[in-house]
Structure 1
Amino acid sequence: MDTLLYLLLPLYAAQFGVTIAEAGVLLAANRLVRIAGYGWVARFYARQGDRLTCTLAVAVAAICAIGHATLSNFWMLLPLRLLWGLSYAALNLSTQVLATAELDGAARRTGRSRAIIAMGPALALPIGAVLAEAFGPRSIFVLLAGISLIALVVTRELPSAPHPVPQQARGFRIPNSLDTWSFLEGLTLDGLFIIGLSYLGRDSLPGGAVVAVGLLLAMRYLGEMLLSPAGGRLAELFGPEKVLVTLSLLTSIALIGFGAGWLWGCAASIVILRSLQLPLMAPIVARRTSGPGRVQALASRATWRDIGAGAGPILAGALLPVVSPVLIYSVSALLLACAALACVSPFVNPDRNSISP
């Protein structure tokens, strides 16, 4: 649903009864509520288990889809975006926890999970774009509501046992090396890079047809679908930390080239490297945080990534018009490389005695 709204809401803001500025707030709202609410979602998930949590999340997703198909204006859509953010947080956490329930094969399962997840946006973006041009931007959300209701059948097969969590003091803690890498990955790859691709490549993109934009956005998820399992297999063979550092350094080189003007070749490289990196963090967390702290540790990584991904577009919008792209992407590349190296030097358990986000 998120990816479709990023495509449709700015292009059809008037038909949803919002201004462009309000559309931007709506697009950011689900990420902001995740940043604030991941800790609460993680505690609810740990107490209630996968079956109840995912059943509620899927039901909420169906309600949100119906709402986007029928409701208009900012104040009607904002609660839907907030509810969807919490729903996504629960589903995202469940997939990571289940994939890393056993260390043996965790990276491979995480890669396969990421590929299956990416199939949704990869299919929904071009289908949604075609339906939007033929029947209006709300039609695809009716279809998504039906798919969400079908998913309720699948949630019945999930385990219902709660997940044990340690007693932890609440409050802010200093981010560790994995938090820092997650933040910078979100900042650079989900923020600066995506916005920079649109900003720097706007002159060479095809005309404003929504189908062309939808296909362009779908390519990122197609990369995840095809390459995330390969990233998981590489992690099983060589160890997730080593693969993380290698891919992050290669990504840093591609970011520098992207800023220097080798736009499309480096952009393709970044998409490939990002897809390979996606399955790595969850098994690293599982290796370093075995036992009851794993749920909160995974939630912490997701929170920091969301903070970075939320800050990235704001930073890109402020810097790209006034600062040289090669400087922007060189600095961000250096920070990402340093953060990756810090994840393995020295090797420590960063989540022992950590507190919830």
Structure 2
Amino acid sequence: MTSTTQSTPPLEDHQADRDSRHAAIALGTTLPGDTVLYLLLPMFAASFGVSLAEAGLLLAANRLVRIAGYGWVVRFYARHGDRATCLLAVLAAAGCALGYATLSGFWWLLPLRLVWGLCFAALNLVTQALSTALARNSASRSGRSRAFIAAGPVLALPAGALLTQYAGPRAIFHVLAVVALCGLLAAHRLPRGVEALPPPTRRGPRLPNALDSWSFLEGFTLDGLFIIGLSFLGQELLPGGAVLAAGVLLALRYGGEIVLSPLGGRMAERWGAERLLVAMSLLTCVALVGFGCGWLWSCAGAIVVLRALQLPLIAPIVAHRYPGPARVQALAARSVWRDIGAGTGPLVAGLMLPIVSSAWLYGISAALLALAALACGRESRGRAAA
């Protein structure tokens, strides 16, 4: 029987599932503007009035702003709660998509990328916080959440590739701005309440732990080098139909999330999220080496599958290590490390791919990711022994 002294009733499974689903839908409707830009900007940089190096910087900018911006987002979230945070982020994201359709030049597009970075930070934080609000079945809930998030990009990427063939690379963003506004319906159904967060701790800089290092390298390789390399290398191997081939493969990446991320969540409930994280990361490293050595499309498909299985793992791992309200700031911290990696990845790819062997670039990155994964396994065993 619930104690009458509690300020709020305990969160039930169906409430947690519903809130997590609505937050994921809000993110899923706004995310296509970003994912389609990742597809088109490297291939059609001149159409957007930028160079390839500037395209890499623009694709990194939304990640880099979140390094500082997650702190602002956490404070806004703590004051205003889930609904207000998501409503504002959805409106701003729709404006960014409209800007991609109408503005050209680095200095016009850069503010849009910075604004989108904060929008994603807000939507991503709310999604992860709500999926882990109830510890029971949080891994499965995170997997289902990833499936809803992926639904938007899986439809938008091939549509964007096809429309680009007939109307150029800008027209699709008019459509995506309207799609983003549909996220207001889901955001409006989120709870109004504000979760009490622990006060921030003031301490000096600390060295990253194994999970921080893994988050950085996973973002660097899979969200940075892999995505840019897919567009750049694919254009060399399949110049006539690169945009369509890359668009379909990126759509399959998100389609894999719809099918495989819930499976990854269930596997984590059964075998443990940290153990599964290490195994999937090592397999991903093997596929990255093959990708860099020239087995582009087959290894890209393997990376897509493995990434989808890994996506729901980090949130329950963090929630297990930092239970209760403390998980919100911990989730933001892991996202910052991932964004540092994902922000530097496109920069490195844009600068190095034209001049450095892809086998060396992806081989070294895969080796570093493997070391970080093994360190996570050792850290997990050490915590269990303690």
**Alignment TM-score, normalising by the size of structure 1:** 0.88
Q: CA deviation at 1:342?
A: 2.1
Give, in whole Å, the separation in 1 of the partners of 2:106 and 2:365.
Answer: 34
Q: Quick one: structure 1 residues 341 and 13, their matched pair in 2 at CA, closer, same or farther if it must change by over 3 Å?
A: closer
24-33 or 116-125, which moves further after superposition? Answer: 24-33
Is residue 2:160 matched to residue 1:128? yes
Give, in whole Å, the separation in 2 of the partners of 1:18 and 1:320.
Answer: 18
Match of 2:113 among 81, 93, 114: 81
Give, in whole Å, the separation in 1 of the partners of 2:40 and 2:361.
Answer: 29
Q: CA deviation at 1:285?
A: 0.4
Q: Which residue of 2 aligns with 1:148?
A: 180
Q: Which residue of 1 aligns with 2:92?
A: 60
Is residue 2:276 matched to residue 1:277? no
Match of 1:243 among 276, 290, 295: 276
1:226-265 to structure 2, matched below 5 A, reads 226-265=259-298
1:312-331 to structure 2, matched below 5 A, reads 312-320=345-353, 325-331=358-364
Q: Can you give the 5+ residue segments of structure 2 that lack an aligned partner in the other structure?
A: 1-32
Q: Which residue of 1 aligns with 2:219?
A: 186
Amino acid of the structure 2 residue aligned with 1:62: A
Give, in whole Å, the separation in 2 of the partners of 1:24 and 1:346.
Answer: 34
Q: Quick one: structure 1 residues 279 and 144, their matched pair in 2 at CA, closer, same or farther if it must change by over 3 Å?
A: same
Assess if the C-alpha contact under 8 Å between 2:234 and 2:246 holds in 1: no
Match of 2:170 among 121, 138, 141: 138
Give, in whole Å, the separation in 1 of the partners of 2:242 and 2:263.
Answer: 33
Q: Which residue of 2 aligns with 1:219?
A: 252
1:27-46 to structure 2, matched below 5 A, reads 27-46=59-78
Give, in whole Å, the separation in 2 of the partners of 1:323 and 1:74.
Answer: 25
Q: Which residue of 2 aligns with 1:333?
A: 366
214-223 or 230-239, which moves further after superposition? Answer: 214-223
SS at match of 1:166: coil
1:120-154 deviation line (CA, Å, top 9, x unaligned): 11111111222233334333222222222222122
SS at match of 1:101: coil
Q: Quick one: structure 1 residues 328 and 139, their matched pair in 2 at CA, closer, same or farther if it must change by over 3 Å?
A: closer
Is residue 2:212 matched to residue 1:175? no
SS at match of 2:325: coil
Q: Quick one: structure 1 residues 341 and 123, their matched pair in 2 at CA, closer, same or farther if it must change by over 3 Å?
A: same
Q: CA deviation at 1:237?
A: 0.9
Amino acid of the structure 2 residue aligned with 1:226: V
Match of 1:304 among 316, 334, 337: 337
Assess if the C-alpha contact under 8 Å between 1:46 and 1:295 holds in 2: no
Give, in whole Å, the separation in 1 of the partners of 2:47 and 2:293.
Answer: 39
Give, in whole Å, the separation in 1 of the partners of 2:368 and 2:101.
Answer: 42
Q: Which residue of 2 aligns with 1:354?
A: none
Q: Quick one: structure 1 residues 76 and 314, their matched pair in 2 at CA, closer, same or farther if it must change by over 3 Å?
A: closer
Give, in whole Å, the separation in 2 of the partners of 1:198 and 1:66.
Answer: 23
Q: CA deviation at 1:197?
A: 4.1
1:190-201 to structure 2, matched below 5 A, reads 190-201=223-234
Assess if the C-alpha contact under 8 Å between 1:99 and 1:106 holds in 2: yes
Is residue 2:80 matched to residue 1:48? yes
1-10 or 309-318, which moves further after superposition? Answer: 309-318
SS at match of 2:207: coil
Aligned length: 350
Q: Can you give the 5+ residue segments of structure 1 that lack an aligned partner in the other structure?
A: 350-357
SS at match of 1:160: coil
Give, in whole Å, the separation in 2 of the partners of 1:166 and 1:26.
Answer: 35
Q: CA deviation at 1:211?
A: 3.0
Q: Which residue of 1 aligns with 2:3?
A: none
Give, in whole Å, the separation in 2 of the partners of 1:36 and 1:108.
Answer: 30
Amino acid of the structure 2 residue aligned with 1:270: I
Give, in whole Å, the separation in 2 of the partners of 1:60 and 1:201.
Answer: 32
Give, in whole Å, the separation in 1 of the partners of 2:54 and 2:366.
Answer: 32
1:94-133 to structure 2, matched below 5 A, reads 94-133=126-165
170-179 or 51-60, which moves further after superposition? Answer: 170-179
130-139 or 294-303, which moves further after superposition? Answer: 130-139
Assess if the C-alpha contact under 8 Å between 2:287 and 2:303 holds in 1: yes
Assess if the C-alpha contact under 8 Å between 2:43 and 2:235 holds in 1: no
